[in-house]
Structure 1
Amino acid sequence: MAYAPVHDYFDIHPTFSFPVEHGQYPVEQQHVVSPESRSFSSRRKQQQQQQQQHADADVTELQEVSPYWATPGHPMPTAPSHQRGWSDSTISTEEEPPPPTAKGESVSASASTSMFPPPFAKRAAAYLQRLPDGPWTLEAVATLVSWAAVGAVLGVLARYNGAALPEWPYYVTLNAVIALLATVATATLGVALQAGLSQLKWVRFTEARAPLADAEAFDEASRGTWGALKLLATARGGWLGSFGAVVAVVALALGPFAQQVVTYESRSVESPRGASINRALNYTGALPGKTSSTGFVPILPLKSAVYNGLFAESGRPGAALAFECQTGNCTWEPYETLGVCHSCADLTPFLSVYCANETATGGSSSTGEGCGWQVPQGGGRLDTGLDVFSMTSHIPAARGDMPHSTIVKLVFLGTEAHDGLAGEKKPWARQCVLSACVQTLASAVANGVLEETVVDSYVNTTVLDISNDDDDGKDRNVYAANPRSNNSSAPYVLGIEAMLAMRGWFATVFATGSAIRNAAGFNRTVGDDSSSGSSSSAVVVNLTVGISSGETFFDSDVVTAFYWNYYEYADGLDMLMRDTATSMTVAFRGFQGAEPVRGRATSAESYVRVRWGFAVLPVLVVAGGALFLAAAAYRSRRSRAEPWKSSALAALLHGLDEDTRARFEGDAGGSLKEQKRRARGIKVQLNESDDNRVLLRG
């Protein structure tokens, strides 16, 4: 009975060990080959031949090999203690395993699964068995993972594009997720690039003779960006190696470009909390007053509003208006409200010269004393010898000499123009009116600050005679309804008591007065009503504003305010009248009976905006890496190069032949730089030697 060679079983089943005792088999029957003397390719070929032989052998012949350990009671053969090509560590001394358990599981299998529950061990073993076994499996899986990571980035961005900034647990941000996925894509792509560039080294030496230095060039390119740049600069990688190096370099921008795909912008979104602001449908605020010429006086909020408009000079006369806007940003559709409007007109073309002593007909007298300018119908006068600025007030009479909606009319005159020269006589005149009206407002709150714009206004110019007190049934209220509006509600009403209260009080507040910069004017004593109608409110100041300068006498603080505004601002008179009208409208809207207007509250929201153009580079990089890996694998298979890739063991076992190594012996004591220079001039190719060893032969 013949014995089967022992090495056949070691080659077919490398993990199986025979229980052989020393000295049982003669040396002649042990065909043992040292593993160190066998190359990768020769061992693979021998394994294929032996597998074919065992496939053709009869089953009965295989059974003849096993009687020594299959027959009960037969003694176990032993092997000699020292054999050629073997060491003591390679001879198995493992004892025969115990018989299987009742369920067919060996003791060793039970021991291996004792640390984990049987279901877990079975699932893990089944999963490992299902994995394909190939030279490029790991790289293919890594490429798929890189594709999945980039696809996940694009999927996340597509999901949140145009949406509000997500709020995830533990303060995880969208940028953190994108950075993590981009890092995974870059790392897994590096696996494919490293394997492909490393394998091209063996492909190069398998296909033809190439400089020995190319091995180091490909290894450096597979290890990092600097090596890839060197491979590109030296053009030693061929078209495929250069393509892989380009992908490796461009892959550095995958992460930054993935971060640039997403940006965060702000937009306004409507808040459910809403907004509210008041509008006045009517105003009837008045109190009886014996000191007033009309029998009524305004309530204190209105007086405060008038003073605020005249003297605050804040540029925000409507700041006192109450509104509701919890988000700090609200808008309202245009709405109507009862209010006060102002209008101003230039009367300069209507100025005429007059003289108090009536000695001049068409101009001033020869001395110029007592002559000045006036507007028609006693609107106002200005004496050049004394006055430089004047304010004349006109309160509507009960008999109806003005429109019934008019509250007060003011006429201003001056001798020096706002844009003129100091001391230059350029007389001017301007008329301004405050009237009850209906305003169409567009209101908006931005960052907590209210801004209102008058879109339209309407003033009822009807003239009404209210002097007949006997006709008690006559309605003397002021009504206003804008005919240009689509609002079909009832007209807005200003009560006659409130109108009379404002007219009576304005006759005192806007009393006729002037500003004088003549020494003769200062002879008037403050509080002396016998000279030029000065009142107790007269002041003397050394005022410098605009082109006006010098010590000036003012009859009242109101005259001082209009004088200051005229010379300080280009439209100073109009601005002061507008501020006063706006402040009075705020008082109307804050009175009882005001109606709230609902608006739309908005808040700033950060949202995601995706710039898809930046996503092109990550997609191209991953696609380029997959294409390079496929090309490298195809090139390796076509050239029949072993898939050794970056294996250091393959480089150690398949070194240089003796002749090529001898060419470096003279440089053994030289520097590494000198050896690298010598390697560039030595060309080698991967061939088999006489003893079936694969070597780099020169």
Structure 2
Amino acid sequence: MAIFYRNSGLGRSVTRTKPRSKRPQYAIHASADSTQRLGRATSPLSVNSNDEKEKNSLDFTQRIEKKLTEYNTSDNVFKRWLFELVSLFVSAACMITIIWIYIRIKDQPLSQYNPFLTWINVLGKVSSAALIVPTSEALGQLKWNWFHNSRAMWDFEIFDKASRGPLGALMLLYRTKGRSLAALGAVLIVLMLAIDTFFQQVVDLPGRWTLNDSPGLLPRTIRYEPTIVNSTVGGVLFVADDKDMFLVVSKFQYGNGTQPVPFGNASRPDIPITCPTSNCTWPVYDTLAVCSKCQDFSEYLEFACMTQRVDWTSSLNGGFMVEDDYPNATMCGYFLNATSENPVLMSGYIVDPATSARGEALLMRNFPLSRLWTYDPFFGNGSVYFKELRNTLLDAVTVSAADGTAASVYRNETPIALECVLTWCVKSIKSSYNSGEYEEEVLETFFNTTAGPFPYESVIFSDGTDVTYGEDINIDIGLSLSGRNISGYGTSNESILPISAGFTDMFPSFTLAMNESDIPKLRYFTWELGPARNQILGFNPWLAPNNVTRHMERFATAMTNVVRSVGGKGEMVAGDAWKMETFVSVQWAWLTFPLLLLILSFVFLILTMMKTSDKGSIGVWKTSAMPTLIYSLPKETQGQFTKSSTFNSTKATKKVRIKLSPNLGWRVSGASHLSTSPQLPRPVVQAPRGWI
């Protein structure tokens, strides 16, 4: 078998003769200049009859690599960098697609566009991966240009690592001091580590409230129509209490009223509401309600000491006594109508005329401005400060010791006096419900101020009194200042007495103490035949320092909730139910970094193409390892690095400089006498399969 190496300018011409063997012969024909320049690939093979089998024997990856080599060795500079340009185009296309998707899903519900975010993540990965290809390939090509001049041997390893990862890129950046085109590629390799983070920061997913399909509902009442069952005794009709309203009235008369029931993060609403999303708002609506007002009454009280009938002491054993049957006693304190024929002690104490000793003290008095049982009004129409209000449920004066103690009564301190009223009204309300907390804001309040006669009428019999309420309650204001029609609100006259009858238990009533150290006792149910009731209250809402005005406001609100909750003519008010939904928010500023990397990568690739446009000077090897296999160091130089002591010696290897010559291969500094490094020969006979 004969193997011929022709002189191509890079090696020697050698002719050797060996005995022929029976092994089949293969011929390899290369182009005339296949070994003249580094990186020039051979021309298409001239094959014999077995060439087709040889071609088919190559696997898929080998055929791809062969095709890429043909492109890399093309005379057209754009064709040599076609794969890198396509990678840049793919990266740019992915970014443009991502921007288009962001524009489409911006400020849209995530539930409708959730798959798009998945595609954005995929496109972001593809874009960043495609962006690395041209940068690393261009950086690898600059390695061969770097060694076109005499360079330190360690630079080869640094360049090789720089094209494969950020650590080598940092080393290359330090090595070049930023004064080489390769430094730009090293910077890009490092910055590309963060590109995925910036893609992820572009999208924010804030929660926003959106309208739910099902609305929130709450009740409002136009006409209050409770179900009341009256009873008869001996054929005489007795008024029965309004069961629903009486429960509320009794709680506020003898204590701190109804208390909110904890529910979730807040308290349960006192009216039946429906809110399917736990966040509902309602438009302004009008409803029949109960309102309260209080006014300072102290100007009608006057301090005096006088002997008068006593209707409040605990020594009275008989209830519902005729005024003439009350005992007389000397009293000092604050009187209502002190200069009239029938002054009433509102806060004071009994004095022993003989010894001037102070006896039992009156700490608090609830005084209704209508006579018990007959409902005859005092002060003309049963009111002092609220004469304009019609259809009131309660109008009474509450007088309390200054600090709620007998000591302040004995010191003759001015008591706290208030006239308070509970009356029918119409409220304009704006409501909201959020996470279990229901809130109401009263915007306007409307009262019936129509003049008319006192509505209560009574007829006294030998064994009782027949009381009637002579008119229905109607609140007809017409158009309000806000443009809403306030008409048709109210209740029937039959519903008034069952409510007002419940107030007679507490109005009138008294709070008494025998001395300063005695525990105050409430004396109430004075309308009963027989002794009145006495009770020590855990919380006396009418006695200072408790706020009576605030207590009456809560009292009226609780009664309003009953009016809106029980049966009556009304309707459910529909409101907006808001549900929390995740939306897509795009922060465009985070895209600046990926787009900047795309532009810099394109600039870096173009500059590299321009610098390596002369293919014949070095060759377009890029990141290929083929030159290191074909153009290895001369054998004489390889021997210097076979010993570990020499290779690991920083002093010895740091000074070794190498240079890649297109015609002579690798040249080593300080060894010009050495033979050239092995070159790619031009064979005339094709080697067997698997051999070069």
2:475–2:486 Cα contact (<8 Å) kept: no
For structure 2, list consecutive stretches of 5 or more residues without a partner in the other structure. 7-19, 61-66, 309-329, 350-359, 384-388, 460-468, 670-692
Partner of 2:623: 646
Which letter does structure 1 place at the counterpart of 2:578?
A: T
* Residue 457 (structure 1) aligned with residue 458 (structure 2): no
Relative to structure 1, is the Cα distance of residues 152 and 534 closer, same or farther in structure 2, using a 3 angstrom cutoff? farther
Aligned equivalent of 2:680: none
Say whether the 8 Å CA contact 2:522–2:536 is kept in structure 1: no
For 2:92 and 2:269, how far apart are their aligned partners in 1? 60
Distance in structure 1 (CA, Å) of the matches to 2:87 and 2:514: 94
Alpha-carbon spacing, 1:279–1:617, altered in 2? closer, same or farther (3 Å): same
Q: Distance in 2 between matches of 1:517 and 1:156?
A: 85
Structure whose residues are more often helix by fraction = 1
Q: 2:640 aligns with which of 650, 654, 665?
A: 665
1:580 aligns with 2:555: yes
Task: Report deviation, 1:437.
Answer: 0.3
Residues 232 and 525 (structure 1), Cα distance of their counterparts in 2 relative to 1, 3 Å cut: closer
CA distance in 1 between partners of 2:509 and 2:295 (Å): 19
Cross-structure match for 2:601: 625
Does structure 1 residue 443 correspond to structure 2 residue 431? yes
Deviations 1:641-689 (A, max 9, x none): 3111221121232234578x37x827833264425x544434433214x
Amino acid at match of 1:338: L
Answering whether residue 655 of structure 2 is matched by residue 681 of structure 1, we say: yes
Alignment of 1:167-316 (within 5 A): 176-206=118-148, 208-236=149-177, 238-285=179-226, 286-288=228-230, 296-307=239-250, 311-314=257-260
CA contact (8 A) 2:39 2:618 kept: no
**2:666 equivalent in structure 1:** 695
Match of residue 371 from structure 1: 332
Contact 1:265–1:607 at 8 Å: present in 2 too? Answer: yes
CA drift of 1:609 comes to: 0.9
Instruction: Indicate the residue corresponding to 1:85 in structure 2.
Output: none
1:395 to 1:143, Cα distance in 2 relative to 1, 3 A: farther
Q: Does 1:484 align with 2:458?
A: no
The 8 Å contact of residues 28 and 46 in structure 2, kept in 1 or not, is answered as no
Q: In the alignment, residue 41 of structure 1 is paired with which amino acid?
A: R
What pairs up with 1:249-648 in 2 under 5 angstroms?
A: 249-285=190-226, 286-288=228-230, 296-307=239-250, 311-314=257-260, 319-348=269-298, 351-357=301-307, 370-374=331-335, 381-383=346-348, 386-395=361-370, 397=375, 400-402=381-383, 403-417=389-403, 425=413, 427-462=415-450, 463-466=452-455, 476-482=471-477, 483-488=480-485, 490-516=487-513, 518=515, 535-536=532-533, 538-540=534-536, 560-563=540-543, 567=545, 572-590=547-565, 591-637=567-613, 640-648=617-625
Summarize the Cα distance change of 1:356–1:196 in structure 2 as closer, same or farther, 3 Å threshold: farther
Aligned residue type for 1:218: F
Deviations 1:542-571 (A, max 9, x none): x6xxxxxxxxxxxxxxx72444xx546xxx
Query: Which residue does 1:82 correspond to in 2?
Result: none
CA contact (8 A) 1:41 1:694 kept: no
- Structure 1: which 5+ runs fail to align? 9-21, 52-89, 98-106, 116-124, 359-368, 544-558
1:159 to 104, 107, 116: 104
User: In the alignment, is the contact (CA less than 8 A) between 2:512 and 2:521 conserved in 1?
Assistant: no
Q: Which amino acid aligns with 1:306?
A: V
Classify 1:598/1:407 alpha carbon distance in 2 versus 1 (closer, same or farther; 3 Å).
same
- Cα distance in 1 for residues equivalent to 2:39 and 2:518: 127
Within 2, Cα distance between the matches of 1:427 and 1:42? 114
Q: Which moved more, 1:312-321 or 1:613-622?
A: 312-321
Structure 2 letter corresponding to 1:301: D
Alpha-carbon separation, structure 1, partners of 2:232 and 2:540: 29
Distance 1:395 1:181, change over 3 A: farther
Letter matched to residue 242 of structure 2: I
SS in 1 for 2:127: helix
8 Å contact kept, 1:211–1:681: yes
Whole-angstrom CA distance in 2 between matches of 1:352 and 1:259: 80
Q: Post-superposition shift, 1:383? A: 1.4
Scaled by the length of structure 2, what TM-score is found? 0.70
Question: 1:448-507 CA deviation, whole Å, 9 max, x = no partner?
Answer: 44322111101223353335689xxx9722222344342236331222222233222212
Judge conservation of contact 2:282–2:574 (CA < 8 Å) in 1.
yes
Is contact 2:647–2:653 with CA below 8 Å preserved after alignment? no
What amino acid maps onto 1:134 in structure 2?
Answer: K
Matched-pair contact (CA < 8 Å) for 2:29–2:46: no
Task: After TM superposition, give the deviation of residue 697 of structure 1 in Å.
Answer: 4.9
Aligned Cα RMSD in Å?
Answer: 4.7
**1:135 aligned onto 2:80:** yes
Whether the aligned pair in 2 keeps the contact of 1:388 and 1:515 (CA below 8 Å) is yes
Q: Check the 8 A contact 2:224/2:563 in 1, yes or no.
A: yes
User: What is the Cα deviation at residue 164 of structure 1?
Assistant: 0.5
1:32 shift after superposition: 7.8
Aligned to 1:71: none
Kindly state the Cα deviation for residue 149 of structure 1 after the two structures are TM-superposed.
Answer: 2.5
Give 1:623 deviation, angstroms.
Answer: 2.2
Matched position secondary structure for 1:163: coil
- AA partner of residue 595 (structure 1): E
Alignment partners' CA distance in 2, 1:351 and 1:638: 115
Label 1:108 to 1:374 Cα distance change in 2 as closer, same or farther (>3 A): farther
For 1:185, the aligned partner's letter is S
Contact 2:111 2:582 in 1 (8 A): no
In structure 2, relative to structure 1, the CA distance for the partners of 1:427 and 1:520 (3 Å cut) is same
Amino acid in structure 2 at the alignment position of 1:465: F
- Structure 2 CA distance for partners of 1:290 and 1:96, relative to 1, 3 Å: closer
Q: Equivalents in 2 of 1:583, 1:493: separation in Å?
A: 17
The secondary structure found in structure 2 opposite 1:386 is: strand
- Partner Cα separation in structure 2 for residue 469 and residue 528 of structure 1: 21
Q: 1:41-86 deviations in whole A, cap 9, x for unaligned?
A: 2784985xxx9xxxxxxxxxxxxxxxxxxxxxxxxxxxxxxxxxxx
**Contact map agreement 2:289 2:425 (CA 8 A) in 1:** yes
Q: Residue type matched to 1:412 in 2?
A: T
**Percent sequence identity over aligned pairs:** 21
8 A contact 1:6–1:32 mirrored in 2: no
Q: Indicate how the Cα distance of structure 1 residues 611 and 510 shifts in structure 2: closer, same or farther if over 3 A, else same.
A: farther
Contact in 1 for aligned 2:369/2:382 (Cα 8 Å): no
Aligned residue in 2 for 1:66: none
Aligned partner of 1:346: which letter? D
SS at match of 2:183: helix
Distance 1:517 1:269, change over 3 A: farther
Following the alignment from structure 1 to structure 2, what is the Cα–Cα distance between the partners of residues 411 and 390? 8
> What is the aligned residue count?
566
- AA aligned to 2:122 is L
- Identify if the C-alpha distance between structure 1 residues 372 and 696 changes in structure 2 by more than 3 Å, giving closer, same or farther: farther
Q: Deviations over 1:570-628 (max 9, x none)?
A: xx323322222112112222322222222222211111111111121122122222222
Tell me the SS of whatever aligns to 1:325: coil
Q: Which has the higher contact order (CA 8 A, sep 6+)?
A: 2
TM-superposed deviation, 1:234:
3.2
